[in-house]
Amino acid sequence: MTLYLAGKTRFLGQNGLLYAAIIACPLVIRLILMMERQVTPGLPDAIGVLSDTSAGILVILLVAVLLHCSKVLAALAAGGWLIVNIAAREYIAFFDSPYALAHVSYLFDKTFFLGSVQYIQHALAWIAALLVLVWLVILATKPGPAVLCPLLVAFLAVSGLNVFVERVPGKQEWRQRNFAYANLFPDVTWLDSRETEVDIPGTISERFIAEPQALFDPDLTGRRWLDSNRGRPNVLLVILEGISGGHIPVIADHHGIEAEERLGNLNELARRGVYASSFVAQQRQTDRGLYALLCGDYPKLLVGKPRMEEYIGFNKRICLPEILRDNDYRTIYLQAAPLPFMMKDQFMPLAGFEESRGKKYFRHGYAQTEWGVDDRAFLEQSLELLGELRMGKSPWFLTLLTSGAHHPFSVPHEFRPEQVRDKRQRALLWLDEAIGVFIDKLDAAGVLDDTLVIITSDESSGITAPIEDTALRLSQNWGFMIALTPEQERRHLRQPILQSDLALSVLDYLGLSESTHFAGRSFWRIYPDNRPVVFGNVYFRETSLLIKQNQILTCKETNRDCALSTIHQGAREVTTQLVASSSEAVRFLKTVAHQSALPWKESK
């Protein structure tokens, strides 16, 4: 007995710290995220701790076995475990999702690596932790069967409990599942039999329910509320990286939400023009949003190769720039970031842009990252290009894409550091000031007199606000649209508008929509009926269907784990109930999501 206790003491003294450190990796990451997000600990977090513990014991077993083979291999396993936990922390911090493997290829892209990966938070602390972990492996001894057997039993017990525990519907997945399990077992369902049937309400037009394909066709049956009598005005499309409708007070207030980021200049532009309070960003990621905006089509609602990338091999679908170019418009695309990222250098010419320019176009910036110059410098130098276009005889279509609000956020160090500590919020305010000055200069130069200006975003990075997890997740599909017309029309559009509606709307405004193939509805028209509103989130691997104004059905891509969320009191309270996969609404959602990923048909 004495020898046994002595052996246990030696084990705990030498290998115990190593095993404790391995277990601590995901737990410390979880604690940091909860503190940063100001999460009130609850049952979802306790379930997450159980998931972390299960994954940690599995890694301990792996390291323990490798110690018998090589300390180098054991150190690589332990160090790799810490590194992937750090990567998961960075991913969750910006996307609220534990998924990463589907997008791991971006790590090998030069622009993404230099632009975002190298800006890991708390880098010195993580390096120190990695060195300590490797040192503990060096000090470790080979564990015997008396250690491996209890570890195996502990893993089986904790993992069994982790699999059968009932997770809390509607709460963020990262709070309840370790990233390893989320990637390895993405289809684990809620273990809850309390499912309800959900039908599509009668307020949604029956013709779309009977024929979901109609959502992908042009719908110009509505009554026009604005007629343009100014010939062929210029078109300026300004796409602001990651901005949400929740960032604009007049839009956020309409939904009773008090976001922490409130952009005053965009708010004034909304008030002086046409704006939509329910503008749906149909997917996450820039290439998916740009495709929907420029090609008048749904982005893929499921994880897979983006449409923009597929377009390079299949360019028979005609996009908005090509139509305008064929109608004697000059077409130019300008972005702050390098063009090769997401293959925009290949896509933009195929889509119909006569000229495509990126990072190399800009001579100076007030702040710069690998993603390009800051938004103020970008918009200032865009004015020079606008001046050149106005000197020509042809009308023009110019598309601008900013990147300053993309991680790691391009903003000068001296801009309001004493007022706003969060760099993301400072970057948003810097962008807001820049867009205000930009529009004022366009107005002073007379550009607004003969130009349709549409300001929107490629995707929504979501908002920060004291609201429920479900509403925060849905804010990643809450975009915005502001239009400044030569007629100086002012209007609040309350019906939901999709990104894919924009191309059709531009052609409808210009009187070029007679034979268009673009999907959706024109926001210059009033429609008597409601259509189904379907969107996806590639980071959460979810698709959603707007049931009513405050009710949204959300399913995993496999159409399992479906839940109906009812949002109350400015999204501060959300009730969630599980939905049976046999429900009419689930079947419809599955059909639309599947059709969004089908191969193209050649444009008419």
Average pLDDT value for the chain: 86
Euclidean distance between CA atoms 435 and 240, whole angstroms: 9
Give the residue-averaged pLDDT of 422-435: 91
Say how many C-beta atoms besides its own lie within 10 A of residue 527's C-beta: 15
Encode pLDDT of 360-408 as tens digits.
999 898 998 888 899 999 999 999 999 999 888 899 999 999 998 888 8
Cis peptide before 417 (omega within 30 of 0): no
Percentage of the chain surpassing pLDDT 90? Answer: 42
Enter the pTM of the model: 0.89
Euclidean distance between CA atoms 577 and 554, whole angstroms: 11
Euclidean distance between CA atoms 41 and 349, whole angstroms: 51
User: Residue 4 pLDDT > 50, yes or no?
Assistant: no
- For the ranges 96-100, 538-542, 579-583, the lowest mean pLDDT is seen at 96-100
The reported pLDDT for the residue numbered 6 is 40
User: Residue 526 pLDDT > 90, yes or no?
Assistant: yes
Q: Which residue has the higher pLDDT, 485 or 141?
A: 485
Q: Is residue 399 within 8 Å of residue 353, measured between CB atoms?
A: yes
User: Residue 326 pLDDT > 60, yes or no?
Assistant: yes
DSSP label of 400:
E
Say how many C-beta atoms besides its own lie within 10 A of residue 309's C-beta: 16
The reported pLDDT for the residue numbered 301 is 93
Identity at 29, one-letter amino acid code: I
Both tokens of 496, joined, read 């939901």
Both tokens of 392, joined, read 């020509």
Q: Which residue has the higher pLDDT, 236 or 116?
A: 236
Superfamily of domain 206-484+507-596: Alkaline Phosphatase, subunit A (3.40.720.10)
Euclidean distance between CA atoms 42 and 364, whole angstroms: 49
Where in the chain are the domains? 2-184, 206-484+507-596
The reported pLDDT for the residue numbered 557 is 78
Q: CB under 8 Å to 211, separation ≥6 — which residues?
A: none
Q: Is residue 551 within 8 Å of residue 557, measured between CB atoms?
A: no
Q: Single out the residue of 524, 514, 520 nearest to residue 532, CA to CA.
A: 520
Euclidean distance between CA atoms 134 and 126, whole angstroms: 12
Size of the chain in residues = 604
**Range picked from 83-92, 144-153, 259-268, 495-504 for highest mean pLDDT:** 495-504
User: Residue 227 pLDDT > 80, yes or no?
Assistant: no
Vertex 578: Cα angle to 574 and 581 (nearest 5)? 140
Give the residue-averaged pLDDT of 81-93: 85
User: Residue 248 pLDDT > 60, yes or no?
Assistant: yes
Euclidean distance between CA atoms 513 and 218, whole angstroms: 9
DSSP label of 195:
E
Encode pLDDT of 310-322 as tens digits.
888 876 789 999 9
Which H or E run contains 536?
Answer: strand 533-537
Q: Is residue 270 within 8 Å of residue 254, measured between CB atoms?
A: no
In the block, residue with structure tokens 């400015």 = 570
Give the residue-averaged pLDDT of 222-244: 89
The reported pLDDT for the residue numbered 3 is 39
